[in-house]
Structure 1
Amino acid sequence: MKLVRTFDPKVKVVLDSISPDGIRLPTVQFRQPRMIHADFLTHRVFSRNGRSSRAVPVVTLLEEARNPYVPHFLKNKPGMMATEEFSDKERALAEAIWRDMAEYTRKGVERLNDIGVHKQWANRPLEWFGYIDVLVTSTEWNNYVALRDHEAAQPEIQQIAKAIREALDASKPNILEPGQWHLPYIEPDDYRIVLDYLRNGVKINPTPERQLELLKKISAARCARLTIKPFDGDGSFEKELERYNSLIVNRPVHASPVEHQATPDTKSFYEVRRLSKGREDVVVRTGLDWDHPEEHANFTGWRQARKTIPNEWVPG
């Protein structure tokens, strides 16, 4: 059955890097219906951030809800796949019912907002009919594409997976050497801004190491709010650093935004020896292995910034 396009996924490859070992690390931003986001979360190898209903002003979602997501409805049948089309009249009725539910929900949320209910509750009912912006960084995409760009997946999931696959196929990764960092949302002008900030703002020697650390923080702060233009608040350089500190320096650490920054790992020769009675040690295995595998986390062959952050998780 032909896949019907029902929304604009707005897929963008934010940054595409590849290590000397040929391991690719793309960061992808896209928009999908909020109703399928739970299915997306089952892919645990992804490092991701998504637009939160707790962060977006109620008035923003209320305005978006005037144009709700409306599925291309198919007839019910046993199993998880729908294949039979409605007549034009039947589909129009289903869509009208859906839009009525969306409008009724929007009006209810508007009333909650009018009496001062916080957005972390007032916004939630709109999730059924709205969209979510998502940012994903990963070295593992094949399994997701194989499962989701497939006729057995829900049509909305097929649509976003197909768009992501096409965007990745069209993107050419840049080679990064160990010590060079994959930094989503960092633009060429940011290097000049960081240099000026260190020299004239905090008045310290702008060493390459200090410049890199600041750029990693700015990248993480921008990943935390998904787009360079914030949903609310100030997107200035100083505010980005405040945002980083509120997430990563304060306790407990909210570390997901520092999963998108990474540098290629190196490999070294190793040998495993076994003690032999009365003789010299016997070499039983040799080879090349990663130097910092404990910093890969859910990546392969890349050292993730999160694993360099103190207290990035709470043990026990």
Structure 2
Amino acid sequence: MTALVRTFDPKVKVVLDSISPDGIRLPTVQFRQPRMIHADFLTHRVFSRNGRSSRAVPVVTLLEEAKNPYVPHFLKNKPGMMATEEFSDKERALAEAIWRDMAEYTRKGVERLNDVGVHKQWANRPLEWFGYIDVLVTSTEWRNYLTLRDHEAAQPEIQQIAQAIRDALDASTPRVLQPGQWHLPYIEPDDYRIVLDYLRNGVKINPTPERQLEILKKISAARCARLTIKPFDGDGSFEKELERYNSLIVSQPVHASPVEHQATPDTGGVMVDVGHGPDKRKNRWHWDNRELHGNFRGWIQARKTIPNEWVPG
């Protein structure tokens, strides 16, 4: 089996790592991967995620990035989904040159589309083969993903990102949250003080803990949503963050994916017997608010507390 060659920097960051009193861990992870493998990542449906969008990033930004395209470590073709045989140095150089030529030809074509005035939601798409995507993921379920993807049978790029995520999670220590305490990605300790000042002096209302928490949940969601263009980097006023939240969550229809990353532990987490008789014993968790978990386990997801968060029918 060919040794895994690392071909990109995944830039994995555990944004926030929480665990419930019942021992259910909820990490939020930010990373960068080649855009061409993102469709494979989307098959993991238990993940709550946001990613950089070709519809949102300015064309000039992607054109600049495309000057240094992602180039795979190519292996020889064979039957099946796994490649194992290395090229000679000369053969690999030729394959990489062909790939770079395709990337440059595509970049020039996108440049021409941009000059004509074509909107970025179309002009940017051809560059997706050769670029990167920033992704934010929050989930209580990681084992299946890591077992499948941190594996020699996975495409090398997919294995690389899975290994990097596993390493980041192994190096992180989750903080215990009690019911009523919220997992809020991108919220820093100073933000609590700033929100108090915003409530007292900005909107001039009594800064109760409940009001403070509601603002912080909105700010967290807005900062998660910013990944559509680029990851949150510490800048931005609360007023603009709240405007972004209102444009996504308050307006209709609701664009609710950014409020899937905030959560609080549910109560009532006990194992109960739901079988029939001693030979058909079957245990499952009982929760007080299972209908509010969404795609989490043992955590109340902010999305499920938002009116009209989905359109039935």
TM-score, with length taken from structure 1? 0.91
Checking the alignment, whether the CA contact within 8 Å between 2:53 and 2:228 is kept in structure 1 is no
SS at 2:228's partner residue? coil
TM-fit CA distance, 1:237: 1.4
* Native 8 Å contact 2:76 2:83 kept in 1: yes
Paired with 1:95 and 1:163, the residues of 2 have a C-alpha distance of: 25
Whether contact under 8 Å (1:68, 1:102) holds in the other structure is yes
Aligned residues: 298
Percentage of pairs with the same residue: 92
Q: Please say which of residues 187-196 and 243-252 is displaced more in the overlay.
A: 187-196
CA distance in 2, matches of 1:41, 1:286: 30
CA distance in 1, matches of 2:291, 2:254: 19
TM-fit CA distance, 1:235: 2.6
Aligned CA RMSD, in angstroms, stands at 2.4
In 2, the alpha carbon distance for the partners of 1:130 and 1:286 equals: 46
Distance in 2, matches of 1:205 and 1:15, equals 29
| Cα displacement string for residues 67-109 of structure 1 (whole angstroms, at most 9, x for unaligned residues) | 0000000000000000000000000000000000000111111
What is the rounded CA distance, in whole Å, between the counterparts of 1:294 and 1:30 in structure 2? 30
CA distance 1:42–1:229, shift in 2 (3 Å): closer
Aligned-pair CA distance for 1:229: 6.7
Whether contact under 8 Å (1:185, 1:228) holds in the other structure is no
Deviations 1:183-237 (A, max 9, x none): 0000111111111111111111110000000000000000011299768998321
Alpha carbons of structure 1 residues 287 and 123: separation in structure 2 relative to 1, 3 Å: closer
Structure showing greater radius of gyration is: 1
Indicate the larger mover: 209-218 or 115-124: 115-124
Deviation beyond 6 Å, 4+ runs, structure 1: 227-234, 285-288
SS at match of 1:152: coil
Query: Kindly tell me: are residues 228 and 80 of structure 1, through their superposed partners in 2, closer, same or farther at Cα, counting changes over 3 Å?
Result: closer
* Contact 1:57-1:232 at 8 Å conserved across structures: no
Superposed, 1:37-48 pairs within 5 Å as: 37-48=38-49
Cα distance in 1 between the residues matched to 2:118 and 2:283: 63
CA–CA distance in 2 between the matches of 1:233 and 1:184?
A: 12
Q: What residue is the counterpart of 1:74 in the other structure?
A: 75
Listed as ranges, the gaps of 5+ residues in structure 1 are 267-280
CA contact (8 A) 1:51 1:133 kept: yes
CA distance in 2 between counterparts of 1:287 and 1:45 reads: 19
CA distance in 1, matches of 2:241, 2:209: 20
Range with greater deviation from structure 2 (224-233 or 152-161): 224-233
C-alpha distance 232-127 of structure 1, shift in aligned 2 (>3 A) = farther
The C-alpha deviation readout for 1:51-82, integer Å capped at 9, x for no partner, is: 00111111111111000000000000000000
Change (3 A) 1:233 1:110: farther
Pairs within 5 Å for 1:44-123: 44-123=45-124
Contact 1:74-1:86 within 8 A present in 2 as well: yes
What is residue 278 of structure 2 aligned with on the other side? none
Distance 1:51 1:99, change over 3 A: same
- In structure 2, do the counterparts of structure 1 residues 231 and 214 end up closer, same or farther at CA, with 3 Å as the change threshold? closer
What is the deviation of 1:112? 0.9
Contact 1:228/1:235 (<8 A) preserved: no
Conserved 8 A contact 2:66-2:130: yes
SS in 1 for 2:77: coil
Aligned to 1:304: 301
Distance 1:245 1:140, change over 3 A: same
Question: 1:191: which partner in 2?
Answer: 192
Report the Cα distance in structure 2 between the residues aligned to 1:232 and 1:116, rounded to whole angstroms: 30
For the residue of structure 2 that corresponds to 1:99, the secondary structure is helix
Whether the aligned pair in 2 keeps the contact of 1:56 and 1:232 (CA below 8 Å) is no
- Say whether the 8 Å CA contact 1:54–1:120 is kept in structure 2: yes
**Partners of 1:14 and 1:150 in 2: how far apart?**
25
2:67 and 2:115 mapped to 1: Cα distance? 17
Structure 1 position 117, deviation (Å): 1.0
